[in-house]
Structure 1
Amino acid sequence: MSPDETSPAQHQVPPVLAAVDGSASSYQAAAWGAVDAVLHHRPLHILTSAALPVGSGPALSPVDASLEWLRVDAERVVGEAARVARAAVPTADLVITTEISVESATALLIERSASARILVVGSRGLGAFQRGLLGSISTAVTRHAHCPVAVIHDNAGLDPVAAALPVLVGVDGSDNSVAAMELAFEEASRRKVDLVALHAFSDASADLPMLGWEMGRQTAEAELGEALAGHAEQYPDVVVRRIVVADRPVRSLLDASSSAQLLVVGSHGRGGFAGMVLGSTSNALLHSVEIPIIVVRDRR
Protein backbone atom coordinates (compact mmCIF):
# COMPACT_ATOMS: atom_id res chain seq x y z
CA MET A 1 0.00 0.00 0.00
CA SER A 2 1.11 3.55 -0.70
CA PRO A 3 1.22 6.07 2.19
CA ASP A 4 -2.34 7.31 1.50
CA GLU A 5 -3.81 3.81 1.37
CA THR A 6 -5.62 2.49 4.41
CA SER A 7 -8.89 0.79 5.31
CA PRO A 8 -11.96 2.16 7.11
CA ALA A 9 -11.15 0.10 10.20
CA GLN A 10 -7.74 1.80 10.49
CA HIS A 11 -9.28 5.27 10.90
CA GLN A 12 -9.64 6.54 14.46
CA VAL A 13 -13.33 7.22 13.81
CA PRO A 14 -15.59 5.51 11.26
CA PRO A 15 -15.06 7.40 7.98
CA VAL A 16 -17.37 8.28 5.15
CA LEU A 17 -16.63 5.55 2.60
CA ALA A 18 -17.05 6.50 -1.07
CA ALA A 19 -16.89 3.83 -3.77
CA VAL A 20 -15.71 4.97 -7.20
CA ASP A 21 -15.29 3.26 -10.56
CA GLY A 22 -14.63 6.10 -12.98
CA SER A 23 -18.29 6.72 -13.82
CA ALA A 24 -19.80 10.20 -13.60
CA SER A 25 -22.15 9.26 -10.77
CA SER A 26 -19.30 7.76 -8.73
CA TYR A 27 -17.36 11.03 -8.94
CA GLN A 28 -20.52 12.81 -7.81
CA ALA A 29 -20.60 10.32 -4.92
CA ALA A 30 -17.03 11.31 -3.99
CA ALA A 31 -18.00 15.00 -3.99
CA TRP A 32 -21.14 14.39 -1.92
CA GLY A 33 -19.16 12.19 0.45
CA ALA A 34 -16.61 14.96 0.97
CA VAL A 35 -19.31 17.42 1.98
CA ASP A 36 -20.93 14.88 4.29
CA ALA A 37 -17.57 14.05 5.86
CA VAL A 38 -16.94 17.72 6.65
CA LEU A 39 -20.43 18.12 8.12
CA HIS A 40 -19.88 15.14 10.41
CA HIS A 41 -16.20 15.85 11.16
CA ARG A 42 -15.10 12.53 9.68
CA PRO A 43 -12.35 11.55 7.25
CA LEU A 44 -13.23 10.53 3.70
CA HIS A 45 -12.00 7.19 2.43
CA ILE A 46 -12.18 6.62 -1.33
CA LEU A 47 -12.10 3.01 -2.49
CA THR A 48 -12.01 1.32 -5.89
CA SER A 49 -11.48 -2.21 -7.10
CA ALA A 50 -8.91 -3.32 -9.66
CA ALA A 51 -10.18 -6.89 -9.69
CA LEU A 52 -10.35 -8.79 -12.94
CA PRO A 53 -13.89 -8.79 -14.38
CA VAL A 54 -15.77 -12.03 -13.80
CA GLY A 55 -15.48 -14.27 -16.85
CA SER A 56 -12.71 -12.16 -18.31
CA GLY A 57 -11.21 -15.14 -20.10
CA PRO A 58 -7.70 -15.67 -21.44
CA ALA A 59 -7.48 -12.13 -22.85
CA LEU A 60 -7.23 -10.83 -19.30
CA SER A 61 -5.13 -13.56 -17.79
CA PRO A 62 -2.67 -12.71 -15.00
CA VAL A 63 0.29 -13.57 -17.26
CA ASP A 64 -0.14 -10.53 -19.51
CA ALA A 65 -0.19 -6.80 -18.89
CA SER A 66 -3.90 -6.61 -18.02
CA LEU A 67 -3.44 -6.63 -14.27
CA GLU A 68 -0.95 -3.80 -14.49
CA TRP A 69 -3.32 -1.85 -16.74
CA LEU A 70 -6.16 -2.34 -14.25
CA ARG A 71 -3.92 -1.09 -11.46
CA VAL A 72 -2.85 2.00 -13.41
CA ASP A 73 -6.44 2.78 -14.34
CA ALA A 74 -7.55 2.32 -10.72
CA GLU A 75 -4.88 4.81 -9.62
CA ARG A 76 -6.25 7.27 -12.16
CA VAL A 77 -9.80 6.75 -10.87
CA VAL A 78 -9.01 7.27 -7.17
CA GLY A 79 -6.76 10.19 -8.01
CA GLU A 80 -9.50 11.93 -9.96
CA ALA A 81 -12.06 11.10 -7.26
CA ALA A 82 -9.81 12.63 -4.60
CA ARG A 83 -9.40 15.75 -6.74
CA VAL A 84 -13.18 16.05 -7.20
CA ALA A 85 -13.74 15.52 -3.47
CA ARG A 86 -11.18 18.17 -2.54
CA ALA A 87 -12.72 20.63 -4.99
CA ALA A 88 -16.13 20.14 -3.35
CA VAL A 89 -14.77 21.39 0.01
CA PRO A 90 -11.77 23.56 -0.97
CA THR A 91 -11.44 25.40 2.34
CA ALA A 92 -12.18 22.50 4.69
CA ASP A 93 -9.57 20.61 6.68
CA LEU A 94 -10.64 17.21 5.36
CA VAL A 95 -8.50 14.10 5.58
CA ILE A 96 -8.84 12.09 2.35
CA THR A 97 -7.37 8.64 1.96
CA THR A 98 -7.56 6.34 -1.03
CA GLU A 99 -7.33 2.61 -1.52
CA ILE A 100 -7.12 0.22 -4.44
CA SER A 101 -8.16 -3.36 -3.84
CA VAL A 102 -8.04 -6.44 -6.05
CA GLU A 103 -11.06 -7.94 -4.33
CA SER A 104 -14.51 -8.11 -5.88
CA ALA A 105 -16.14 -4.70 -5.42
CA THR A 106 -19.50 -5.86 -4.07
CA ALA A 107 -18.17 -8.22 -1.39
CA LEU A 108 -15.46 -5.71 -0.46
CA LEU A 109 -17.88 -2.83 0.05
CA ILE A 110 -20.28 -4.90 2.12
CA GLU A 111 -17.39 -6.00 4.33
CA ARG A 112 -15.95 -2.48 4.67
CA SER A 113 -19.37 -0.99 5.42
CA ALA A 114 -19.18 -2.57 8.88
CA SER A 115 -16.51 -0.03 9.87
CA ALA A 116 -17.87 3.03 8.03
CA ARG A 117 -20.24 5.79 9.15
CA ILE A 118 -21.95 5.80 5.79
CA LEU A 119 -21.27 4.21 2.41
CA VAL A 120 -21.67 6.47 -0.62
CA VAL A 121 -22.09 5.00 -4.11
CA GLY A 122 -23.05 6.24 -7.55
CA SER A 123 -26.40 5.21 -8.94
CA ARG A 124 -24.98 3.68 -12.10
CA GLY A 125 -21.61 2.18 -12.84
CA LEU A 126 -19.77 2.08 -16.13
CA GLY A 127 -21.67 -1.02 -17.16
CA ALA A 128 -25.11 0.58 -16.84
CA PHE A 129 -26.79 1.51 -20.10
CA GLN A 130 -30.25 2.78 -19.19
CA ARG A 131 -31.02 6.08 -17.48
CA GLY A 132 -32.46 5.51 -14.03
CA LEU A 133 -31.13 1.95 -13.83
CA LEU A 134 -29.14 1.26 -10.67
CA GLY A 135 -25.80 -0.40 -11.20
CA SER A 136 -25.43 -3.95 -9.90
CA ILE A 137 -22.95 -2.91 -7.19
CA SER A 138 -25.06 -0.06 -5.82
CA THR A 139 -28.12 -2.31 -5.77
CA ALA A 140 -26.29 -5.05 -3.86
CA VAL A 141 -24.68 -2.82 -1.24
CA THR A 142 -27.93 -0.98 -0.58
CA ARG A 143 -29.52 -4.30 0.25
CA HIS A 144 -26.75 -5.78 2.36
CA ALA A 145 -24.52 -3.03 3.79
CA HIS A 146 -23.98 -2.79 7.55
CA CYS A 147 -24.26 1.01 7.61
CA PRO A 148 -26.55 3.58 5.96
CA VAL A 149 -26.06 3.80 2.19
CA ALA A 150 -26.25 7.03 0.21
CA VAL A 151 -26.95 6.62 -3.50
CA ILE A 152 -25.95 9.61 -5.62
CA HIS A 153 -27.16 10.20 -9.16
CA ASP A 154 -25.53 12.28 -11.87
CA ASN A 155 -26.04 15.48 -9.87
CA ALA A 156 -25.08 15.51 -6.19
CA GLY A 157 -27.00 18.74 -5.61
CA LEU A 158 -24.13 20.62 -3.94
CA ASP A 159 -24.82 24.05 -5.44
CA PRO A 160 -26.00 26.85 -3.10
CA VAL A 161 -29.63 26.63 -4.27
CA ALA A 162 -29.89 22.89 -3.64
CA ALA A 163 -27.99 23.16 -0.35
CA ALA A 164 -30.68 25.49 1.01
CA LEU A 165 -33.49 23.01 0.35
CA PRO A 166 -34.85 20.85 3.20
CA VAL A 167 -34.14 17.23 4.06
CA LEU A 168 -37.10 14.94 3.32
CA VAL A 169 -37.83 11.81 5.38
CA GLY A 170 -40.46 9.14 4.91
CA VAL A 171 -42.25 8.16 8.15
CA ASP A 172 -44.44 5.08 8.59
CA GLY A 173 -43.96 4.07 12.22
CA SER A 174 -41.72 1.05 11.55
CA ASP A 175 -38.39 0.49 13.34
CA ASN A 176 -36.55 1.27 10.12
CA SER A 177 -38.54 4.48 9.82
CA VAL A 178 -37.44 5.48 13.33
CA ALA A 179 -33.79 4.92 12.39
CA ALA A 180 -34.30 6.93 9.20
CA MET A 181 -35.86 9.77 11.14
CA GLU A 182 -32.96 9.87 13.62
CA LEU A 183 -30.51 10.23 10.74
CA ALA A 184 -32.70 12.76 8.91
CA PHE A 185 -32.89 15.03 11.96
CA GLU A 186 -29.11 14.94 12.33
CA GLU A 187 -28.57 15.68 8.65
CA ALA A 188 -31.01 18.61 8.74
CA SER A 189 -29.35 19.99 11.87
CA ARG A 190 -25.84 19.78 10.45
CA ARG A 191 -26.93 21.24 7.11
CA LYS A 192 -28.91 23.99 8.90
CA VAL A 193 -32.06 23.39 6.88
CA ASP A 194 -35.67 22.42 7.57
CA LEU A 195 -36.90 18.85 7.80
CA VAL A 196 -39.97 17.71 5.90
CA ALA A 197 -41.54 14.61 7.48
CA LEU A 198 -43.98 12.91 5.13
CA HIS A 199 -46.44 10.22 6.17
CA ALA A 200 -48.52 8.58 3.42
CA PHE A 201 -51.28 6.55 5.03
CA SER A 202 -52.79 4.89 1.97
CA ASP A 203 -51.22 2.26 -0.26
CA ALA A 204 -54.16 2.21 -2.63
CA SER A 205 -55.29 5.53 -4.06
CA ALA A 206 -55.73 9.19 -3.24
CA ASP A 207 -59.45 8.86 -4.04
CA LEU A 208 -60.77 8.04 -0.57
CA PRO A 209 -64.29 8.71 0.69
CA MET A 210 -64.47 11.90 2.76
CA LEU A 211 -65.14 10.00 5.99
CA GLY A 212 -62.28 7.58 5.34
CA TRP A 213 -59.93 10.44 4.54
CA GLU A 214 -60.82 12.33 7.72
CA MET A 215 -60.43 9.30 9.98
CA GLY A 216 -57.21 8.28 8.29
CA ARG A 217 -55.83 11.80 8.44
CA GLN A 218 -56.49 12.18 12.16
CA THR A 219 -54.86 8.84 12.95
CA ALA A 220 -51.91 9.57 10.65
CA GLU A 221 -51.31 13.02 12.13
CA ALA A 222 -51.35 11.56 15.64
CA GLU A 223 -48.89 8.84 14.63
CA LEU A 224 -46.61 11.35 12.92
CA GLY A 225 -46.69 13.70 15.91
CA GLU A 226 -45.81 10.85 18.27
CA ALA A 227 -42.96 9.70 16.02
CA LEU A 228 -41.50 13.21 15.82
CA ALA A 229 -41.86 14.20 19.49
CA GLY A 230 -38.60 12.90 20.96
CA HIS A 231 -36.47 13.88 17.98
CA ALA A 232 -37.86 17.41 17.87
CA GLU A 233 -36.82 17.88 21.50
CA GLN A 234 -33.33 16.59 20.75
CA TYR A 235 -32.95 18.92 17.75
CA PRO A 236 -34.73 22.17 18.71
CA ASP A 237 -32.84 24.01 15.96
CA VAL A 238 -34.57 22.00 13.23
CA VAL A 239 -37.81 23.42 11.87
CA VAL A 240 -40.11 20.49 11.04
CA ARG A 241 -42.78 20.62 8.38
CA ARG A 242 -45.32 17.81 8.52
CA ILE A 243 -47.06 16.40 5.46
CA VAL A 244 -49.84 13.82 5.73
CA VAL A 245 -51.28 12.48 2.48
CA ALA A 246 -53.69 9.75 1.45
CA ASP A 247 -51.55 8.38 -1.34
CA ARG A 248 -48.96 5.76 -2.13
CA PRO A 249 -45.66 6.42 -0.30
CA VAL A 250 -43.53 6.15 -3.44
CA ARG A 251 -45.56 8.67 -5.41
CA SER A 252 -45.83 11.06 -2.47
CA LEU A 253 -42.12 11.00 -1.64
CA LEU A 254 -41.14 11.24 -5.29
CA ASP A 255 -43.30 14.36 -5.72
CA ALA A 256 -41.95 15.94 -2.51
CA SER A 257 -38.34 15.14 -3.45
CA SER A 258 -38.43 17.76 -6.23
CA SER A 259 -38.23 20.41 -3.49
CA ALA A 260 -35.63 18.68 -1.26
CA GLN A 261 -31.85 18.25 -1.26
CA LEU A 262 -31.82 14.80 0.32
CA LEU A 263 -34.30 11.96 0.86
CA VAL A 264 -33.96 9.58 3.81
CA VAL A 265 -35.97 6.34 3.99
CA GLY A 266 -35.94 3.09 5.95
CA SER A 267 -34.80 -0.04 4.19
CA HIS A 268 -38.30 -1.51 4.49
CA GLY A 269 -41.48 -0.36 6.16
CA ARG A 270 -44.08 -1.86 8.43
CA GLY A 271 -45.45 -3.91 5.55
CA GLY A 272 -42.17 -5.76 5.13
CA PHE A 273 -41.13 -9.09 6.60
CA ALA A 274 -38.27 -9.36 9.07
CA GLY A 275 -36.13 -11.25 6.57
CA MET A 276 -36.52 -8.73 3.76
CA VAL A 277 -33.39 -6.80 2.86
CA LEU A 278 -35.08 -4.00 0.91
CA GLY A 279 -38.73 -3.03 0.83
CA SER A 280 -40.79 -2.11 -2.21
CA THR A 281 -40.95 1.60 -1.34
CA SER A 282 -37.21 2.11 -0.82
CA ASN A 283 -36.39 -0.04 -3.84
CA ALA A 284 -38.76 1.91 -6.10
CA LEU A 285 -37.42 5.25 -4.88
CA LEU A 286 -33.84 4.19 -5.51
CA HIS A 287 -34.73 3.66 -9.15
CA SER A 288 -36.79 6.81 -9.63
CA VAL A 289 -35.69 9.66 -7.36
CA GLU A 290 -33.19 12.14 -8.80
CA ILE A 291 -31.79 13.66 -5.60
CA PRO A 292 -29.36 11.89 -3.24
CA ILE A 293 -31.13 9.24 -1.18
CA ILE A 294 -29.99 7.54 2.03
CA VAL A 295 -31.38 4.11 2.91
CA VAL A 296 -31.23 3.26 6.61
CA ARG A 297 -31.71 -0.12 8.26
CA ASP A 298 -32.51 -0.46 11.95
CA ARG A 299 -29.58 -2.51 13.27
CA ARG A 300 -31.14 -3.14 16.64
Structure 2
Amino acid sequence: MDDGAAVVVGVDGSEPARRAVRLAAAEATRRRLPLRVVHGFIWPLLRVPVGPPRDAPAGGGLRPQAERLVAQAVAEAEAAAPGVRVTGEVVDGEAAAVLVGESPTAAMIVLGDRGLGGFAALVVGSVAGQVTAYAECPVLVARGAERTDGPVVVGVDGSALSRAAVRFAAGEAAVRGAPLRAVHAYRHPASAGPGDMQPLVHDPDLLRGEEDRVLAGALTELAERYPRVPVERVVAHARPAAALTEASRAAQLLVVGARGHGEFTGLLLGSVSHAVLHHADCPVAVVRAGG
Protein backbone atom coordinates (compact mmCIF):
# COMPACT_ATOMS: atom_id res chain seq x y z
CA MET A 1 0.00 0.00 0.00
CA ASP A 2 1.10 3.59 -0.52
CA ASP A 3 2.39 5.69 2.35
CA GLY A 4 -0.56 8.03 1.80
CA ALA A 5 -3.17 5.25 1.93
CA ALA A 6 -6.38 6.15 3.72
CA VAL A 7 -8.10 4.55 6.67
CA VAL A 8 -11.43 3.33 5.23
CA VAL A 9 -14.58 3.01 7.34
CA GLY A 10 -17.78 1.28 6.22
CA VAL A 11 -21.00 2.99 7.30
CA ASP A 12 -24.70 2.16 7.15
CA GLY A 13 -26.31 4.60 9.59
CA SER A 14 -26.35 2.20 12.56
CA GLU A 15 -24.99 3.06 16.00
CA PRO A 16 -22.19 0.45 15.69
CA ALA A 17 -21.16 2.11 12.43
CA ARG A 18 -21.02 5.46 14.22
CA ARG A 19 -18.69 3.86 16.77
CA ALA A 20 -16.60 2.61 13.88
CA VAL A 21 -16.40 6.15 12.50
CA ARG A 22 -15.02 7.41 15.82
CA LEU A 23 -12.54 4.56 15.98
CA ALA A 24 -11.46 5.14 12.37
CA ALA A 25 -11.04 8.86 13.03
CA ALA A 26 -8.74 8.08 15.97
CA GLU A 27 -6.70 5.68 13.82
CA ALA A 28 -6.37 8.25 11.04
CA THR A 29 -5.23 10.85 13.59
CA ARG A 30 -2.60 8.53 15.08
CA ARG A 31 -1.30 7.50 11.67
CA ARG A 32 -1.57 11.00 10.16
CA LEU A 33 -3.54 9.58 7.26
CA PRO A 34 -6.71 10.69 5.46
CA LEU A 35 -10.02 9.02 6.28
CA ARG A 36 -12.39 7.69 3.63
CA VAL A 37 -16.04 7.03 4.52
CA VAL A 38 -17.72 4.42 2.28
CA HIS A 39 -21.28 3.13 1.98
CA GLY A 40 -21.93 0.00 -0.11
CA PHE A 41 -25.09 0.78 -2.12
CA ILE A 42 -26.56 -2.55 -3.16
CA TRP A 43 -29.91 -1.43 -4.61
CA PRO A 44 -28.82 -0.85 -8.22
CA LEU A 45 -27.62 -4.48 -8.35
CA LEU A 46 -31.13 -5.56 -7.37
CA ARG A 47 -32.67 -3.31 -10.03
CA VAL A 48 -34.51 -1.31 -7.38
CA PRO A 49 -35.36 2.30 -8.37
CA VAL A 50 -33.04 4.55 -6.38
CA GLY A 51 -34.27 7.98 -7.40
CA PRO A 52 -37.19 9.91 -5.86
CA PRO A 53 -40.65 8.49 -6.54
CA ARG A 54 -42.90 10.40 -8.91
CA ASP A 55 -44.35 13.54 -7.27
CA ALA A 56 -42.10 13.00 -4.22
CA PRO A 57 -40.40 15.98 -2.53
CA ALA A 58 -36.90 16.88 -3.70
CA GLY A 59 -34.23 14.81 -2.05
CA GLY A 60 -36.37 11.70 -1.76
CA GLY A 61 -35.29 8.23 -2.86
CA LEU A 62 -32.71 5.69 -1.83
CA ARG A 63 -29.61 7.28 -3.36
CA PRO A 64 -30.15 10.73 -1.82
CA GLN A 65 -30.76 8.97 1.50
CA ALA A 66 -27.45 7.10 1.16
CA GLU A 67 -25.66 10.32 0.26
CA ARG A 68 -27.04 12.02 3.37
CA LEU A 69 -25.93 9.05 5.47
CA VAL A 70 -22.37 9.39 4.18
CA ALA A 71 -22.39 13.18 4.60
CA GLN A 72 -23.46 12.77 8.23
CA ALA A 73 -20.69 10.26 8.87
CA VAL A 74 -18.14 12.59 7.27
CA ALA A 75 -19.30 15.42 9.53
CA GLU A 76 -18.99 13.17 12.61
CA ALA A 77 -15.48 12.13 11.57
CA GLU A 78 -14.40 15.73 11.01
CA ALA A 79 -15.71 16.66 14.46
CA ALA A 80 -13.89 13.71 16.05
CA ALA A 81 -10.61 14.28 14.20
CA PRO A 82 -9.97 17.97 13.47
CA GLY A 83 -7.20 18.35 10.92
CA VAL A 84 -7.75 14.95 9.30
CA ARG A 85 -8.79 15.09 5.65
CA VAL A 86 -12.11 13.25 5.42
CA THR A 87 -13.88 12.25 2.21
CA GLY A 88 -16.98 10.15 1.60
CA GLU A 89 -18.52 8.19 -1.24
CA VAL A 90 -21.53 6.05 -2.02
CA VAL A 91 -20.18 3.09 -4.00
CA ASP A 92 -22.55 0.85 -5.96
CA GLY A 93 -22.17 -2.77 -4.90
CA GLU A 94 -22.68 -5.30 -2.14
CA ALA A 95 -21.14 -4.20 1.16
CA ALA A 96 -18.43 -6.85 1.47
CA ALA A 97 -17.41 -6.59 -2.19
CA VAL A 98 -17.15 -2.81 -1.93
CA LEU A 99 -14.97 -2.95 1.16
CA VAL A 100 -12.74 -5.71 -0.19
CA GLY A 101 -12.39 -3.59 -3.34
CA GLU A 102 -11.14 -0.71 -1.19
CA SER A 103 -8.57 -2.86 0.61
CA PRO A 104 -5.66 -2.93 -1.90
CA THR A 105 -5.08 0.81 -1.47
CA ALA A 106 -6.27 1.17 2.15
CA ALA A 107 -4.15 1.34 5.26
CA MET A 108 -6.95 -0.28 7.24
CA ILE A 109 -10.67 -1.07 6.99
CA VAL A 110 -12.83 -0.30 10.03
CA LEU A 111 -16.29 -1.80 10.65
CA GLY A 112 -18.90 -1.87 13.38
CA ASP A 113 -19.68 -5.20 15.02
CA ARG A 114 -23.32 -5.05 13.95
CA GLY A 115 -25.15 -3.09 11.29
CA LEU A 116 -28.12 -2.52 9.07
CA GLY A 117 -28.83 -3.50 5.49
CA GLY A 118 -25.74 -4.86 3.78
CA PHE A 119 -23.82 -4.75 7.06
CA ALA A 120 -26.39 -6.76 9.07
CA ALA A 121 -25.00 -9.49 11.33
CA LEU A 122 -21.50 -8.26 10.58
CA VAL A 123 -19.65 -10.55 12.96
CA VAL A 124 -21.49 -13.79 12.27
CA GLY A 125 -22.61 -13.21 8.69
CA SER A 126 -21.12 -13.21 5.24
CA VAL A 127 -19.85 -9.61 5.29
CA ALA A 128 -17.38 -10.24 8.11
CA GLY A 129 -16.32 -13.58 6.67
CA GLN A 130 -15.66 -12.15 3.22
CA VAL A 131 -13.96 -8.93 4.32
CA THR A 132 -11.65 -10.59 6.83
CA ALA A 133 -10.90 -13.48 4.47
CA TYR A 134 -10.14 -11.40 1.38
CA ALA A 135 -9.18 -7.86 2.45
CA GLU A 136 -5.60 -7.02 1.56
CA CYS A 137 -5.13 -4.81 4.62
CA PRO A 138 -5.84 -5.12 8.35
CA VAL A 139 -9.52 -5.09 9.35
CA LEU A 140 -10.53 -3.40 12.61
CA VAL A 141 -13.88 -4.31 14.21
CA ALA A 142 -15.27 -1.75 16.66
CA ARG A 143 -16.68 -3.52 19.69
CA GLY A 144 -16.39 -3.57 23.47
CA ALA A 145 -15.12 -0.63 25.49
CA GLU A 146 -13.40 2.37 23.92
CA ARG A 147 -10.22 2.79 25.99
CA THR A 148 -7.24 5.08 25.55
CA ASP A 149 -5.19 3.29 28.21
CA GLY A 150 -4.24 -0.32 28.75
CA PRO A 151 -2.02 -2.52 26.59
CA VAL A 152 -2.30 -3.63 23.00
CA VAL A 153 -2.83 -7.41 23.23
CA VAL A 154 -1.77 -9.79 20.46
CA GLY A 155 -2.45 -13.50 20.11
CA VAL A 156 0.70 -15.48 19.27
CA ASP A 157 0.99 -19.07 18.01
CA GLY A 158 4.29 -19.05 16.11
CA SER A 159 2.82 -19.07 12.58
CA ALA A 160 3.81 -16.63 9.84
CA LEU A 161 0.45 -14.90 10.14
CA SER A 162 0.89 -14.69 13.87
CA ARG A 163 4.22 -12.92 13.28
CA ALA A 164 2.46 -10.48 10.96
CA ALA A 165 -0.05 -9.81 13.75
CA VAL A 166 2.81 -9.23 16.20
CA ARG A 167 4.43 -6.67 13.88
CA PHE A 168 1.13 -4.87 13.40
CA ALA A 169 0.38 -4.90 17.14
CA ALA A 170 3.82 -3.54 17.98
CA GLY A 171 3.33 -0.71 15.51
CA GLU A 172 -0.04 0.07 17.07
CA ALA A 173 1.50 0.04 20.54
CA ALA A 174 4.21 2.43 19.35
CA VAL A 175 1.82 5.01 17.89
CA ARG A 176 -0.47 4.74 20.92
CA GLY A 177 2.35 4.99 23.45
CA ALA A 178 1.09 1.73 24.98
CA PRO A 179 2.76 -1.47 26.19
CA LEU A 180 2.41 -4.67 24.16
CA ARG A 181 1.08 -7.81 25.83
CA ALA A 182 1.82 -10.95 23.79
CA VAL A 183 -0.42 -13.88 24.75
CA HIS A 184 0.39 -17.46 23.78
CA ALA A 185 -2.19 -20.02 24.92
CA TYR A 186 -1.88 -23.77 24.60
CA ARG A 187 -3.69 -26.88 25.82
CA HIS A 188 -1.76 -29.84 24.37
CA PRO A 189 1.70 -30.65 23.03
CA ALA A 190 2.07 -29.14 19.58
CA SER A 191 1.91 -31.36 16.50
CA ALA A 192 4.97 -31.28 14.25
CA GLY A 193 2.86 -31.80 11.13
CA PRO A 194 0.06 -33.80 9.50
CA GLY A 195 -0.15 -37.32 10.84
CA ASP A 196 2.19 -36.59 13.73
CA MET A 197 1.20 -38.50 16.87
CA GLN A 198 1.00 -36.49 20.07
CA PRO A 199 2.32 -38.16 23.21
CA LEU A 200 -0.27 -39.49 25.63
CA VAL A 201 2.01 -38.59 28.53
CA HIS A 202 4.15 -35.47 28.62
CA ASP A 203 6.18 -33.44 31.10
CA PRO A 204 4.20 -30.26 31.92
CA ASP A 205 7.35 -28.30 32.80
CA LEU A 206 9.09 -29.37 29.60
CA LEU A 207 5.99 -28.48 27.59
CA ARG A 208 5.78 -25.09 29.28
CA GLY A 209 9.41 -24.44 28.37
CA GLU A 210 8.72 -25.32 24.74
CA GLU A 211 5.71 -22.98 24.64
CA ASP A 212 7.82 -20.21 26.22
CA ARG A 213 10.31 -20.62 23.38
CA VAL A 214 7.52 -20.40 20.78
CA LEU A 215 6.47 -17.05 22.22
CA ALA A 216 10.02 -15.76 22.57
CA GLY A 217 10.80 -16.69 18.98
CA ALA A 218 7.80 -14.73 17.72
CA LEU A 219 9.03 -11.60 19.48
CA THR A 220 12.69 -11.61 18.48
CA GLU A 221 12.38 -8.70 16.01
CA LEU A 222 10.66 -6.32 18.37
CA ALA A 223 13.57 -5.14 20.51
CA GLU A 224 15.35 -3.79 17.42
CA ARG A 225 12.33 -2.45 15.53
CA TYR A 226 10.40 -1.05 18.51
CA PRO A 227 12.94 -0.50 21.30
CA ARG A 228 10.66 1.89 23.21
CA VAL A 229 7.66 -0.46 23.36
CA PRO A 230 7.52 -2.40 26.64
CA VAL A 231 6.68 -6.06 25.95
CA GLU A 232 4.99 -8.40 28.41
CA ARG A 233 5.03 -12.12 27.59
CA VAL A 234 2.10 -14.23 28.80
CA VAL A 235 2.02 -18.01 28.37
CA ALA A 236 -1.28 -19.51 29.45
CA HIS A 237 -2.37 -23.13 29.73
CA ALA A 238 -5.88 -22.34 28.51
CA ARG A 239 -8.08 -22.17 25.46
CA PRO A 240 -6.81 -19.33 23.25
CA ALA A 241 -10.26 -17.76 22.88
CA ALA A 242 -10.70 -17.66 26.64
CA ALA A 243 -7.18 -16.29 27.23
CA LEU A 244 -7.60 -13.55 24.62
CA THR A 245 -11.09 -12.61 25.78
CA GLU A 246 -9.83 -12.32 29.35
CA ALA A 247 -6.86 -10.20 28.22
CA SER A 248 -9.17 -7.91 26.23
CA ARG A 249 -10.91 -6.72 29.41
CA ALA A 250 -7.97 -4.47 30.24
CA ALA A 251 -6.82 -3.79 26.65
CA GLN A 252 -7.35 -0.90 24.27
CA LEU A 253 -6.88 -3.17 21.25
CA LEU A 254 -6.77 -6.92 20.58
CA VAL A 255 -4.86 -8.14 17.50
CA VAL A 256 -5.15 -11.61 15.95
CA GLY A 257 -3.87 -13.21 12.77
CA ALA A 258 -6.21 -14.36 10.03
CA ARG A 259 -5.05 -17.96 10.31
CA GLY A 260 -2.80 -19.88 12.65
CA HIS A 261 -1.55 -23.20 14.00
CA GLY A 262 -3.26 -25.49 16.48
CA GLU A 263 -6.07 -23.79 18.36
CA PHE A 264 -5.72 -20.70 16.16
CA THR A 265 -6.33 -22.62 12.91
CA GLY A 266 -9.25 -21.18 10.97
CA LEU A 267 -9.28 -18.24 13.36
CA LEU A 268 -11.83 -16.20 11.45
CA LEU A 269 -14.14 -19.05 10.55
CA GLY A 270 -14.04 -21.21 13.67
CA SER A 271 -14.77 -21.11 17.36
CA VAL A 272 -11.85 -18.86 18.35
CA SER A 273 -12.85 -16.09 15.97
CA HIS A 274 -16.50 -16.26 16.90
CA ALA A 275 -15.66 -16.17 20.59
CA VAL A 276 -13.22 -13.27 20.26
CA LEU A 277 -15.38 -11.19 17.93
CA HIS A 278 -18.48 -11.83 20.04
CA HIS A 279 -16.96 -11.49 23.50
CA ALA A 280 -13.81 -9.32 23.34
CA ASP A 281 -14.20 -6.21 25.47
CA CYS A 282 -12.21 -3.94 23.15
CA PRO A 283 -11.80 -3.36 19.39
CA VAL A 284 -10.37 -6.33 17.49
CA ALA A 285 -7.89 -6.04 14.60
CA VAL A 286 -7.54 -8.98 12.20
CA VAL A 287 -4.27 -9.09 10.27
CA ARG A 288 -3.25 -11.09 7.22
CA ALA A 289 0.38 -11.80 6.26
CA GLY A 290 0.17 -9.31 3.39
CA GLY A 291 -1.80 -6.77 5.40
User: What TM-score, normalized to structure 1?
Assistant: 0.82
CA distance 1:272–1:85, shift in 2 (3 Å)? same
CA distance 1:248–1:133, shift in 2 (3 Å)? same
| C-alpha distance in 1 between matches for 2:263 and 2:103 | 23
1:147 to 2:137 alignment: yes
Using the TM superposition, give the Cα deviation of residue 223 of structure 1 relative to its aligned residue in structure 2, in angstroms: 1.7
Give the aligned residue type for 1:229: T
Aligned with 2:173 (options 178, 188, 209):
188
Partner of 1:217: 208
| C-alpha distance in 2 between matches for 1:236 and 1:221 | 21
1:120 to 2:110 alignment: yes
1:83 to 2:75 alignment: yes
| C-alpha distance in 1 between matches for 2:188 and 2:19 | 33
- Give deviations 1:176-204, integer Å, cap 9, x for gaps: 10000000000000000111000002169
Q: How large is the Cα RMSD of the aligned pairs? A: 3.1
SS, match of residue 26 in structure 1: helix
Using the TM superposition, give the Cα deviation of residue 277 of structure 1 relative to its aligned residue in structure 2, in angstroms: 8.4
Q: How is 1:217-256 mapped onto 2 (pairs within 5 angstroms)?
A: 217-256=208-247
CA distance 1:203–1:101, shift in 2 (3 Å)? farther
Using the TM superposition, give the Cα deviation of residue 137 of structure 1 relative to its aligned residue in structure 2, in angstroms: 2.1
Aligned with 1:104 (options 94, 97, 109):
94
| C-alpha distance in 1 between matches for 2:186 and 2:281 | 23
CA distance 1:50–1:286, shift in 2 (3 Å)? same
SS, match of residue 121 in structure 1: strand
1:299 to 2:287 alignment: no
CA distance 1:46–1:241, shift in 2 (3 Å)? same
Give the stretch that moved more between structures: 262-271 or 174-183: 262-271
Contact 1:29 1:156 in 2 (8 A): no
| C-alpha distance in 1 between matches for 2:19 and 2:250 | 20
SS, match of residue 157 in structure 2: coil
> Identity percentage over the alignment?
36
Q: Give the gaps of 5 or more residues in structure 2.
A: 190-199
Contact 1:19 1:119 in 2 (8 A): yes
How many aligned residue pairs are there?
275
Aligned with 2:53 (options 61, 65, 88):
65
Contact 2:124 2:274 in 1 (8 A): no
CA distance 1:136–1:53, shift in 2 (3 Å)? farther
Give the aligned residue type for 1:171: V
